[in-house]
Amino acid sequence: MIYKLLEKFDQHLAFDTAKAHCDIPCGIYDPITAQINALTVVRMIDLITHLENTHKEHDADFMNSMSRYVAVKEEHAEKAKHEIRVIWGDYIKAPHVEKHPEIPELVHKIMQLGSKSRQTVDRDTALQFVEAINQFAEIFWDTKGIAIKRAKAPYPPALELVYPNL
């Protein structure tokens, strides 16, 4: 209640701020980058599958498109893993793990699913990758005391993502 009151005052009076920043500009953590990267992995698998089903001749055009899709899939699976590692390593603290003891296992699961998504074109694996990162996002926003909502991404493959309900 006191916080809400101060927040209202702040909107009108704009209290002075004191920065608790880290290496510039620390404090900017958001799992959405990892979520979008994982979504891209699913999208690339869909494009790979579609190309394989519609392009009977494996000509230069086919090879060119296929290699680009595979490269993007590789890159984004690795980027998603990187983003999760940064939040895990730099942001998550002991009290967060105490409250959410499932985090270490979840992070490990994300790493494994990310690797498998690079090795294969298994859509189910990629979907699990997206969902595991969604679960990580739920925990992340809970540590910030911010409510979440689930909504379909407004672009293909239109999978459900976790967003902060601001």
Residues that bind other proteins (CB under 8 A): 2-4, 6, 9-10, 15-24, 26-27, 29, 90-91, 93, 95-96, 143-147
Question: Whose CA is closest to 91, among 144, 36, 152, 156?
Answer: 144
DSSP 154: S
Q: Say if CB 116 and CB 125 are below 8 A apart.
A: yes
Omega within 30 of 0 (cis) for the link into 157: yes
Least separation in angstroms between residue 153's CB and other proteins is 24
Please identify, using beta-carbon distances, which residue of 115 and 143 lies nearer to other proteins.
143
| Residue 160 backbone dihedrals phi, psi, to 5 degrees | -75, 130
Nearer to other proteins, 9 or 155 (CB): 9
Closest to other proteins by CB, 16 or 105 = 16
Shortest CB 82 distance to other proteins, Å:
16
Minimum distance, C-beta of residue 1 to other proteins, in the bound complex (Å): 8
* CB closer to other proteins, 25 vs 154: 25
Q: Which is nearer to other proteins, 22 or 71 (CB)?
A: 22
Amino acid found at 148 = I
Q: How far is the CB of 100 from other proteins (least distance, A)?
A: 12
Under 8 Å between Cβ of 120 and 130: no
Spatial CA neighbour of 83 closest among 34, 147, 50: 34
Question: What is the separation, in whole angstroms, between the first and last Cα of the chain?
Answer: 18
Q: Is 42 helix (H, G, I), strand (E, B) or coil?
A: helix
Nearest approach in angstroms of CB 19 to other proteins is 5
